């Protein structure tokens, strides 16, 4: 999987201060290929999965069966590279900072746009992203270490098995943020409003209980530092879909590169009733 190197024409700091329209154009012009945490505060961010139409029904059902990890927000019609529910100006071929191209279930390369790869049978899925609730946490005085350190949030494969549907299944992925013990209840209360973006944490404390061997060795993203009064807090993560894709072994699939989300045109809470958090099996 891609790890960001910072080889972009525009910095995260510059993008964080830009208007949403300017951010979209900068990304569309391939001038930024980094993470989107802390960019366009107040707008919903999404994971993206693009699959051939023949697999669309099973993938949609997989998301429905695993809504903590894969809260499905919207899907396109076959061949359409926009999703009206997320904003009329969005072009799914160009509007993510970086795409991962999967062939036979494996991520083989990355690209800042996929215009040359688009097919008439492609269906695009938008899955909720935990970046969506970070503005609310920051506003409540709860720091986000990965934003402070300008790195992609750490993500880990776990020992939780998702509910399989058709060819899609496998281990769940979580994102992690250091949180002060005194802020744990506040964090849970805030995230309860974002069931469409993974909702409340699924685990606090000992990472080994999730099968994570090293908190400083994430499977995706970068490690972050901890203060003495902080503990690791874990949320469901949309990169779960990329594990499922590897297991499904489709001849082609296109996803966001971990951390490089689609920034929509709609408010982060405008569709908070899309999903109600559930509990995975396993």
pTM given for the model: 0.86
Q: Domain locations in the chain?
A: 12-131+248-267, 133-236
pLDDT digit string (tens) for 11-53?
A: 888 888 889 889 899 999 999 998 888 888 888 899 999 999 9
Give domain 12-131+248-267's CATH architecture.
3-Layer(aba) Sandwich (3.40)
Looking at the domain 133-236, which fold is it? PSTPO5379-like fold (3.30.2040)
Rounded to whole angstroms, the Cα distance separating 193 from 276 reads 10
pLDDT digit string (tens) for 180-210?
A: 999 999 999 999 999 888 999 999 999 999 9
């Amino acid at each position: 999987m891609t790890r960001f190197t910072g080889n972009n024409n525009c910095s995260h700091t510059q993008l964080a201060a830009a208007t949403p329209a300017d951010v979209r154009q900068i990304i569309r012009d391939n001038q930024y290929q980094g993470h989107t945490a802390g960019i366009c505060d107040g707008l919903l961010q999404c994971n993206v999965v693009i699959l051939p139409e023949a697999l669309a029904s099973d993938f949609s059902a997989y998301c429905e069966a695993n809504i903590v990890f894969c809260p499905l927000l919207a899907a396109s019609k076959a061949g359409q590279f926009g999703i009206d529910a997320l904003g009329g100006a969005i072009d799914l071929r160009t509007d993510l900072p970086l795409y991962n191209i999967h062939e036979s279930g494996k991520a083989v390369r990355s690209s800042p746009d996929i215009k040359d790869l688009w097919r008439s049978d492609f269906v695009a899925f938008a899955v909720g992203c935990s970046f969506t609730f970070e503005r609310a946490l920051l506003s409540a005085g709860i720091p986000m270490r990965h934003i402070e350190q300008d790195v992609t949030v750490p993500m880990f494969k776990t020992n939780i098995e998702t509910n399989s549907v058709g060819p899609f299944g496998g281990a769940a992925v979580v994102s992690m943020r250091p949180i002060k013990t005194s802020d744990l209840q506040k964090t849970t209360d805030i995230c309860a409003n974002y069931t469409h973006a993974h909702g409340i944490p699924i685990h606090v404390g000992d990472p080994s209980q999730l099968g994570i061997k090293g908190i400083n060795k994430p499977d995706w993203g970068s490690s972050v530092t901890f203060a003495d009064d902080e503990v690791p807090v874990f949320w469901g993560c949309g990169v779960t879909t990329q594990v499922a894709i590897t297991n499904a072994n489709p001849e082609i699939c296109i996803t966001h590169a971990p951390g490089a989300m689609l920034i929509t045109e709609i408010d982060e809470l405008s569709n908070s009733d899309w999903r109600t958090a559930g509990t995975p099996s396993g």
